[in-house]
Amino acid sequence: GSCSKSTGIMTRQLVLRADIIFAQRSIDIITKMEKEYGEHFLRRTGFLTLSPISRVTKKLELIYRSVGVEYKLLEPHEIRELWEAVVVGDNEIGIYTEGDGMLNTGSLSYRIKKEIERSGGSILERCGETSLSTDGRYVVRVISDNNECSLHGDLFILDVGVNTASIFTRSFGRTPEPDQLLFKCQSASVDLGGEYGIPIIYDGKNHLYIAPETKKRAIVGDGPCKTARDQNDIAPDREILIETLDKLPERLAGSERSRIIGITSHICGTTPDFLPVIGKDNVYENLYLAYGLSSYGTMRSPYLGVEIAKMVDGGRVDPLLKILSPRSSKGLGTCEEIHTPII
C-alpha cells in the first residue's frame, strides 16, 4: 500500500470515519511490532492541522470521540506558545493529535521482508511485464517476462499499486470495477534554512503539508491535484511545486531562507468514489483485489493487509471492509483534494 517514495505520514486526521479507524488500527499494529522487535518504525512527532475556525465542525469532534482518537483543539495563542515559529492567524484554530508521526517505510518493509523469508516464503522482484492466466472461473498461473516469476498457484491477490488496472486488463480483456484513476503525488525535500522543532503541519487554507525529517529539513508538498496520463507519467509539475513552496513562509517564520534539496514525483491511484478496493473478484473464485489506496496507503495498508489475510484464509473480517468490495464505477471521477488530511 506504500512505496519507497512515500512521505510516511501517519495521521488519524482524515475525512472518512472508516479511514480514521483504519489509520488508528494500523498505528496499533506498528506499535505492537515495535515492542516485538525492539525497533522504532514510527517517529511520533504529532500532527497539527491549521484551519479557519468556521471550518472546524461539531461533526469532526463527534467522529473523533466515537472512535477513541485523542485530540486537542488549540487556540492561536496556545499554538504560538508551543511552537513559536509556526505562523497562525487570530481567526484560525489548530487540531493536534499527539500520537501521529512519520513512518519509516523502508525499515518497516525490510522487517516484513525478513519475516516472510524466515517463515519460508519468497519475494520475487524485477519480474517485468506480468499477466494472469485462467482456467474457467479460476486463475491458475502468473506469466512473466522473468521465468523465475512465472508460477502456478491456488490463491492470487492482485495488489501492484498503480499497475493493478493495466495487469488486470491485459489478463482478462476488461477493466476492473471500479476504475483505477491516477494522479501525481509529488513533494520536495527542503532545507529550511534554520532549526525548527515542529510537528507535522497541515495548512488547510493553502493545501500545504510540512513533514519534518530533521530539525533543519522537511518534506513539503500537496498543492492542487494533477491528473496523470498513465502510470509512467511521473515527471514532476514544477509550477505546482514552486507555487506550493512559495506558501511555506506563510506558515513557518524565517523559512524564506529555505532551498530545495530534491524533488520526488510518482503516481498514486484512487477510484471514482475515492475509496480503495479490497475484496474478492466478481468473476474468478480465487482472485482477490487490492488497489486505489490513494496516498493514504501508508495509513491504511498495515491494517487492511491483516484483513486481506483473514479474508483469504476464510476468517472473520472487519464489517467495515464491506464498503470496499469491488463495485460499479460510480462517483465524482475527478481529481480532487481527496489525498490530503482533513480540513
Angle between helices 297-312 and 17-37 (to 10 degrees): 80
Q: What is the phi/psi pair of residue 250, to 5°?
A: -70, -15
DSSP letters for 269-316:
EE-TTS--EEEE-SS-TTEEEEE--GGGHHHHHHHHHHHHHHHHTT--
C-alpha distances in Å from residue 187, one per residue of 9, 93, 208, 242, 251 = 13, 25, 10, 10, 17
Measured CA to CA, the distance from residue 47 to residue 127 in angstroms comes to 38
Q: Give the pLDDT score at 338.
A: 44
Neighbours of 215 (CB within 10 A): 12
Q: Give the pLDDT score at 333.
A: 57
C-alpha distances in Å from residue 322, one per residue of 191, 217, 307 = 44, 41, 11
Q: Give the pLDDT score at 334.
A: 58
Q: Give the pLDDT score at 285.
A: 96
Q: Give the pLDDT score at 340.
A: 40
Measured CA to CA, the distance from residue 121 to residue 177 in angstroms comes to 30
The DSSP bridge partners found for residue 93 are 51
Q: Give the pLDDT score at 298.
A: 86
Which residue numbers in the chain have pLDDT < 50? 337-343
